[in-house]
Structure 1
Amino acid sequence: MIRLVPNQATQITRSEKVTFTFDGTPVTGHAGESLVAALMRAGYLALRNAPNDAAPRGAFCGMGLCQECTVMIDGQVVEACRTGITPGLTVERV
């Protein structure tokens, strides 16, 4: 049996909102949350293209094991699921 509970989303206290850019477009997230969470909430599901067939790739495992969510920050390839957002962060597709 499934127990239904009332929606308690209004009781969640979030950190302050911060803005960063993804491929030149401003995106808003909450300080300290993972980059992949902020991008997915903003509607960015495809974060890079596969090297062999250029198929869109995005978050898969969400914990840094698969490297499917890699993005470019300051010239370095990083995993979006293991990177926290900060104000003014500049993120690009790989």
Structure 2
Amino acid sequence: MSRFSVDGEPLGFTEGQTVAAALVAAGRVAWRTTRVGRRPRGVFCGIGVCFDCLVTIDGAAGQRACLVPARAGMTVTTQEDDDG
């Protein structure tokens, strides 16, 4: 199984999964909070229309996890206090 890191922890994924699919498969349903109310967000639409699943990938902030294919060795950082 291939792996990438999320907030410094390794996460396994299956080839063909998006970052969001790998996170959900690992039991993580929320990985971002809103600025107002710090409400948890994760994948919502799953097709890149909304911005609930934003993460930072390899230093690039604001990436929609539902659109980015998981790659071995990538670094994913969850985002806090971001309305997107």
TM above 0.5: yes
Q: Aligned residues, how many?
A: 78
Matched, 1:54 2:38: yes
Higher radius of gyration, 1 or 2: 1
Which string of whole-angstrom CA distances, capped at 9 and with x for unpartnered residues, describes residues 55-89 of structure 1? 11111000000110000012222000000011101
Look up the match of 1:31: 15
- The normalised TM-score by structure 2 is 0.87
* Aligned-residue RMSD, C-alpha: 0.9
Distance 1:73 1:19 in 2: 14
Q: Which has the higher contact order (CA 8 A, sep 6+)?
A: 2
> Which segments of 5 or more consecutive residues in structure 1 lack a partner in the other structure?
1-16
> Which segments of 5 or more consecutive residues in structure 2 lack a partner in the other structure?
80-84
Taking every aligned residue pair, what percent have the same amino acid on both sides?
38
Distance 1:24 1:68 in 2: 21
Matched, 1:89 2:44: no
